[in-house]
């Protein structure tokens, strides 16, 4: 199945879900899964497409969440303004971090982004007046204009998050597949030195990737904050980044839609195994990721790629056989 029919099926299922499911708990899980899908795809834009490995996306996620929560609680701003501010702050911090990190590659860049996320976590944990410290920030209002509770709220919140996540994913797909920036991202990932020798402005493209990726991670954080109604320092932890990377690898790096699908499925597995306890749950999810890395290193998206490669080899063999017979 090609990408367009697959996306059409997924889109139709996403739209129809609130009509087919009449249970707020199921819609709540689906809403959270979409938030994680947006976060995993934002990481893939920077690390999967551009090859700039980031261990700091939990920090950008937390920045968006804390900015939205704090501006709504302390300044009384609406959720729409909070979402815009959260995404903007995360994007600006991502750009600010990108400037000194541009000289770094590979593991060194990963360590810098990890340190940034840890710095954000420490600030969130100790800035009591704004962030609430270790207990987090809460009681700051939900999405503006949504019903107060019940099935109606669950449906409305799900559709709102689904639309925003779809717009974010659509933006990433368009940038990566239809613009010069997308070609620049892939060139940097394959060989940055060669890309520079071909006249590609690698600095500008890496800054763009950092800005867009961190901004979308911040947007996912704002959705998380307004939906969960609690933001604590744990959202900026290394465990959050590890889970996001696992989701992206599970779905398939460098595809945008693959990490989104991987996030939804891995979140479902994580929630489905919650009854076995936190420790065993983490072990089970880790084993699932390990199996995929070993036996399907290109993730779920690799299944389609392998089928396409087999088709190309078969067509090439038939063409060769026809040519030799002539």
Domain annotation covers residue 324? no
Domain annotation covers residue 65? yes
pLDDT value for 235: 92
Query: Which mean pLDDT values do the consecutive 10-residue runs of the chain (326 residues) have?
Result: 58 66 77 90 88 89 95 90 94 88 74 90 92 89 71 76 82 80 86 85 88 93 91 90 88 82 86 75 80 77 63 58 52
pLDDT value for 307: 62
- Among residues 12, 54, 3, the alpha carbon closest in space to that of 244 is found at 54
Domain annotation covers residue 323? no
The rounded distance, in Å, linking the Cα atoms of 196 and 199 is 5
- Whether the Cβ atoms of residue 157 and residue 201 lie closer than 8 Å to each other: no
Domain annotation covers residue 49? yes
- Whether the Cβ atoms of residue 94 and residue 214 lie closer than 8 Å to each other: yes
pLDDT value for 106: 67
H or E, element range at 122: helix 106-126
Domain annotation covers residue 260? yes
Q: Considering the entire predicted model, what is its pTM?
A: 0.84
The rounded distance, in Å, linking the Cα atoms of 43 and 241 is 9
What number of helices (H) and strands (E) belong to the chain? 14, 2
Total domains, the chain: 1
Domain annotation covers residue 100? yes
Domain annotation covers residue 285? yes
User: Which range marks the domain in which residue 81 is found?
Assistant: 3-318
The tokens of 59 are what? 């920090």
The tokens of 265 are what? 């499925």
CATH of the domain at 137: 1.10.3470
pLDDT value for 184: 87
Domain annotation covers residue 325? no
């Amino acid at each position: 199945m090609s990408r367009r029919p697959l996306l059409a099926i997924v889109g139709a299922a996403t739209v129809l879900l609130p009509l087919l499911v009449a249970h707020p708990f199921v819609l709540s899980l689906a809403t959270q899964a979409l938030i994680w899908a947006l976060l995993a795809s934002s990481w893939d834009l920077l690390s999967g497409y551009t090859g700039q490995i980031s261990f700091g996306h939990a920090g950008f996620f937390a920045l968006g969440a804390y900015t939205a929560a704090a501006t709504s609680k302390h300044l009384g701003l609406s959720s729409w303004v909070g979402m815009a501010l959260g995404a903007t702050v995360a994007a600006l911090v991502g750009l600010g971090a990108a400037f000194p990190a541009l000289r770094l590659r590979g593991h060194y860049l990963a360590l810098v982004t990890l340190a940034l996320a840890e710095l954000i976590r420490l600030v969130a944990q100790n800035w009591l007046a704004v962030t609430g410290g270790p207990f987090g920030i809460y009681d700051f209002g939900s999405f503006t204009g949504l019903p107060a509770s019940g099935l109606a709220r669950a449906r409305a919140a799900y559709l709102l998050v689904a639309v925003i996540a779809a717009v974010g994913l659509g933006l990433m797909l368009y940038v990566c597949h239809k613009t010069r920036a997308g070609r620049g991202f892939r060139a940097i990932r394959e060989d940055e030195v060669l890309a520079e020798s071909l006249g590609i402005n690698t600095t500008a493209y890496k800054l763009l990737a950092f800005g867009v990726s961190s901004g979308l991670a911040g947007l996912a954080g704002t959705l998380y904050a307004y939906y969960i109604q609690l933001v604590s320092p744990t959202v900026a932890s290394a465990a959050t980044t590890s889970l996001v990377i696992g989701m992206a690898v599970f779905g398939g790096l460098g595809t945008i839609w693959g990490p989104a699908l991987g996030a939804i499925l891995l979140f479902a597995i994580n929630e489905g195994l919650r009854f076995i306890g936190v420790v065993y749950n983490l072990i089970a999810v880790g084993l699932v990721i390990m199996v995929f890395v070993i036996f399907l290193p290109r993730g779920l998206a690799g299944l389609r790629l392998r089928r396409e490669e087999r088709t190309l080899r078969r067509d090439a063999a038939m063409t060769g056989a026809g040519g030799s017979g002539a």
